[in-house]
Structure 1
């Protein structure tokens, strides 16, 4: 993302802020927050967070980066090209351990807050005849944008359902949710995977399209098989009927938590101040997107975070009364 370099974005982990004493910062300091695609939830939440930080921390200028999602975010964090990310826990665990896309390149990522649950959504329309994961065989699907945690989770679900991602589909695209919705509308795609908070704009758009009957594929039955191999980062949940236009039945699906994360070397006073700002604006954040309603004290658990806490964040949440 050359735009980051051109604007001189400084990863906060580099220690460039005038600390201690943020109020005495000599010049504006910039912090890039890596989010996701514009059709998801990370982007609007990240944009609001950037505004809060820029307004409430003297000398801070926070900006948002549009990315493919969690994997790309963590790769940028590992390269010290952004200072903060929103990410799914499964991708963060891979990054810390140097697994999968991070093989040989572990990322020193640390959690500072647990946000909300991300839901795996397998999306299609009634005209395709798809009603189950097995029905996807031989169809044209999208498994998410390159560099997204959607892609990682989609591959694991496909595997858990007994399908081969390279052999069992007529075509497998790597589209964003907005692109996937448009492709279904145009008759060029049969189904797509997308992991996000709910509701998300791209699926709402598809469900509200005249002449289209939205169908959400159940897949919670495969969670035990997936967690047996990849660890207890996933859990079954239900998206209630009516969450999306035309969604007439509950969707039983697989979920994963989201965290806000930074590098382990971000200065402790800055981590504390960021958490103070986030927590202080939690009601404002929930008005930006309903997913932020789940940003709660009881959600600040080490098991939910999945990766180690930044020490300053751990101290902050304990000070708020969380039992990590």
Structure 2
């Protein structure tokens, strides 16, 4: 069984916290990726539109505070650490601090509910690289299972969609369209993971829980070169096409692929998609992500206690619970170069 777990690590993407951080942050994010510089400058403008500050770090601080209260109430005696892939606090610095504190074995929650290279395997690679950088004494870090079909993820999302649908006039509610959005990824990445299948299953479960008969999974935030195929349709393209077909009066958009309302949600949905809906005369309601919803926070604690105690692993739908330990070839991705 090894040593007992002695710490909890929140692993996330990171984001700039001021205008001067934006370009260094984006260079970290895009290093080694086949992304046109024009796209990087475009994304920089998105961040500068909001003062150069991504909300993701503040949201993670709030989540950590909620988790601390949840852990304390449930008697989970684990200190909480936080490390990012792309910006302070960076994973090597966090693991160095954990080693200095005498931490030997941690459970990690990734701020991603779905399996793909970017959302799981790359974080595991980041942790492995950070452990190598820290060297002797670096703690062992084991990830918690993906939560895309956990009741603690599905139920708050369904509640958030249902709350939006209740704001649609009753006579139009049955025809309201629910769009579930997720970050698009290259098809070559999607081919060796269950990202698309998990997203469809989670969307189905949320739509069922919210009583939404009309729904569709769409994508957002594509960043690759135009000739490279990515998952489609794009949310704005779909809105235009659906409006052109007629009968689109009300749309509820839930960014199901995200666990917090960070920059891509704020710009791609709350700015671009909303502007488009206003132009088309479509009533758009945007459902919040799970964020720090109490049920989502308690779910993270449940993932910890099920691993420690070997408890039953709840999962909705037909997929069953995700694995604890990833197979060697899980979510492998080799970019296809032109």
Q: TM-score, normalised by structure 1?
A: 0.32
Write 1 or 2 for the structure with the bigger share of helix: 2
Write 1 or 2 for the structure with the bigger share of strand: 1
